[in-house]
Chains A and B, each alone.
Chain A
């Protein structure tokens, strides 16, 4: 079974440009999460989808970030316009629909974003 995949693996853009990150969750996983790790800091939660609906977007830093999950399958995270402080590694994770007990989140390899 394929794991969580993310594209691109690395993106280098100029300040003010737009970048779109893509995440393909494990097939059948209703829950999809975005996290971000800024250099020297912890991995931080950005938002959570249940199928195509945003369940929790409390971690989104500002309105320059737009996440979508049309059709409840893959998700995109767009940054427009990008700022220097947006540099970091963006992780996507997915988990099965809610179950009793612990529901493991499976992480992708991340997209490394560099804003110059």
Chain B
């Protein structure tokens, strides 16, 4: 069983739509939960992180973590064509120097 499960998509939405991306995980030791965005031929870029359970908002992006269900989500409001990328959920046991465990990534396309 994979430690982190993520639907690879692809997911295609019209511009302005609300996008919902999510991951499940099996390791209860994970404490930090991250969302990375990766454009083609580029490295992953951190969008936001959340510590333990709860919500975090940054502009059009909202991350949610439910540790009781081992389920994390990323919502993108008013999606733009520039949001078209692969979104990777990722987790680690600590925030310090610690290996990151990634989901496979969901490929998102926002149609103008």
Interface positions of A (Cβ within 8 A of B):
4, 31, 33, 35, 41-45, 48, 50, 55-56, 58-59, 91, 93, 95, 98-99, 101-110
User: In the complex, A102 Cα to B51 Cα: how many Å?
Assistant: 8
Whether the pair B99, A33 counts as a contact (CB closer than 8 A) is yes
Whether the pair A103, B102 counts as a contact (CB closer than 8 A) is no
Interface window among B14-22, B37-45, B57-65, B67-75 = B37-45
Whether the pair B2, A42 counts as a contact (CB closer than 8 A) is yes
CB contact under 8 A between A102 and B95, given known A42-B103, A43-B88, A45-B100: yes
Interface positions of B (Cβ within 8 A of A):
2, 4, 32, 36, 41-46, 49, 51, 88, 95-97, 99-105
Whether the pair A103, B104 counts as a contact (CB closer than 8 A) is no
Q: Which 8 A-B pairs have the closest CB atoms?
A: A107-B43, A102-B95, A45-B99, A43-B102, A31-B97, A98-B96, A42-B102, A42-B104
User: In the complex, A104 Cα to B105 Cα: how many Å?
Assistant: 19
User: In the complex, A44 Cα to B99 Cα: how many Å?
Assistant: 9
Which residue on A lies nearest to B6, using beta carbons? A42
Interface of B (DSSP majority class): loop
Which residue on B lies nearest to A50, using beta carbons? B97
A-B contact pairs, 8 of them (CB 8 A): A35-B100, A42-B101, A48-B99, A55-B97, A102-B95, A103-B97, A104-B46, A107-B45
User: In the complex, A22 Cα to B41 Cα: how many Å?
Assistant: 17
Q: Which chain A positions have C-beta within 8 A of B97?
A: 31, 48, 50, 55, 95, 98, 103
Q: Which chain B positions have C-beta within 8 A of A93?
A: 43
Whether the pair B44, A45 counts as a contact (CB closer than 8 A) is no
Shortest Cβ gap from A21 to chain B (Å): 14
Whether the pair A91, B44 counts as a contact (CB closer than 8 A) is yes
User: In the complex, A104 Cα to B49 Cα: how many Å?
Assistant: 9
User: In the complex, A35 Cα to B96 Cα: how many Å?
Assistant: 17
